[in-house]
Structure 1
Amino acid sequence: MYVLITYDVADTATDGAGRLRRVAKLCTQYGQRVQFSVFECLLEPAQFEQLKHDLLDVIDIERDSIRFYNLGSNWKRRVEHFGAKEGYDPQGFLMV
C-alpha cells in the first residue's frame, strides 16, 4: 500500500521541536520526504499500523495533527508530479 503522510507539529511549544524531529525521523525510516512535512511511504499493512501507532504516541493530540492518505496498491495512477525535484518512485531503480 502506498501512503501519503502529512503532519503539522506545534513547534513553538517548549517540547514541540523535539516532537517535530521524532515525527520526521519515524517517517524517514519508512518512506521518502517529498516536502517539508509530507512523506510518501510504500508499506505493508503491518508496517503501516506500526508506523501509525508510533506516530500517534509521539504527537500531542491537543496541539498537533497528522493525516494518513491511503493511495492503495494502484497508486501510480493517482500520483502526478509537476515542478522542481524529481518524482519519487519507491519501486524504481536505486543507484548507490
Structure 2
Amino acid sequence: MSKEYLYLITYDISDPKRLRQVFRIMEGYGEWVQLSVFQCRLSPRRYQRLIADLEKEIKQHEDHVLLFKLWAADTQSAEFVSIGKAFQPITKEPVII
C-alpha cells in the first residue's frame, strides 16, 4: 500500500461554472475545510490523478490552484505545486524595531 500524505489545497477560479466543477472534483478527493479550501489525504497516485483532473478543468491564465504538502508540525516545511497563475511564497525577512 502506498504511503499517504496530507495536503491543503486552495483555489481561486474566475468563472462560476468552473468553480462549481472544481468544487465537485475536490469533493471526490478530500474534505471541504472552508470556502475554496480542502484538506486531502492522498497517495502519490491519487495526487497525480487530482492534478490531472484539475488541469483539465481550469483555465491556466485565469484560475489558480495551490496544493500544499504538509508534514508533521516539527518539520516546519511544506512543498507546493502552483497550477495556473504564477505564485511566489512570502519569504521570511528580518524585522527592525
Secondary structure (helix, strand or coil) at the match of 1:56 reads helix
Q: Deviations over 1:15-40 (max 9, x none)?
A: x1111011001111110010110000
Distance in 2 between the 1:52 and 1:30 partners?
A: 11
Question: Gaps spanning 5+ residues in structure 1: where?
Answer: 11-15, 79-96
Kindly, what percent of the aligned residue pairs are identical? 36
- Deviating beyond 2 angstroms after TM superposition, the runs of 4 or more aligned structure 1 residues are none
Counterpart position of 1:85? none
Letter in 1 for 2:7: V
Cα-Cα RMSD: 1.2
- Higher Cα Rg, which structure: 2
Report the Cα offset of residue 9 of structure 1: 0.5
Asked which structure has the greater RCO (Cα within 8 Å, sep 6+), the reply is 1
Counterpart position of 1:3? 7
Distance in 2 between the 1:24 and 1:56 partners?
A: 14
Secondary structure (helix, strand or coil) at the match of 1:26 reads helix
Secondary structure (helix, strand or coil) at the match of 1:32 reads strand
Q: Deviations over 1:1-60 (max 9, x none)?
A: 1111100001xxxxx111101100111111001011000000111000000110011011
Number of aligned residue pairs: give it.
70
Secondary structure (helix, strand or coil) at the match of 1:69 reads strand
